[in-house]
Amino acid sequence: MFQWSNRVLLALALALTMATGAWAQMASTTQNMRRVGARLACQCGCPDTVASCSMLGCSFSHPAKDKIAQMQAAGVPDQTIVDDFIKAYGKGIYRSEPNTFGWLVPYLALALGTVVVIWFVRRSRRLKPALVVDARLARYNDQIEQELQNLE
């Protein structure tokens, strides 16, 4: 039977440590790339950002992600990366972060819709005013009632 020597165990522990470190660094790089990519619109024709483009083999987002990762590895700040993409592709590529108003719009729309529904229901349940009594109308109603009694 094979016995594990101290050298083999040490080599396995070192390899595992390096793999874990590489995975953690890759996850950190991916998270940093997504932070910057979320502020750039994908130019492949989809409405997504560079970070969220789900098109398989996208001709824009994959190279852009690589470029962002390379620039971040070189220590370039996020705003400089965004400015570089704006210079290359124009102002249409920039997507600003949602502000307070952007977060309030769906809730305000929901509140407005609720108010409209409540107003409509109350208005439709309100009693209708009685018909204006006109002398000719009253005479016709009496005539209709008499004719209905004659039918029976």
Q: What pLDDT score was predicted for residue 139?
A: 85
pLDDT tens for 40-55 read: 988 888 888 888 888 8
CA-based nearest residue to 51, from 80, 21, 93: 93
Which residues have a Cβ under 8 Å from the Cβ of 80 and sit 6 or more positions away?
71
How far is Cα of residue 137 from the mean position of the Cα atoms in its chain?
A: 61
pLDDT tens for 60-119 read: 888 888 899 889 889 999 889 999 999 998 888 888 876 777 778 889 999 999 999 999
Q: Are 33 and 68 in contact, with CB atoms under 8 Å apart?
A: yes
In angstroms, the CA 9 to CA 15 distance is 10
| For the chain, domain boundaries | 6-93, 100-151
Residue 22 has pLDDT above 70, yes or no: no
* Among the four given CATH numbers 1.10.405, 3.30.300, 1.10.8, 1.10.3470, the one describing domain 6-93: 1.10.8
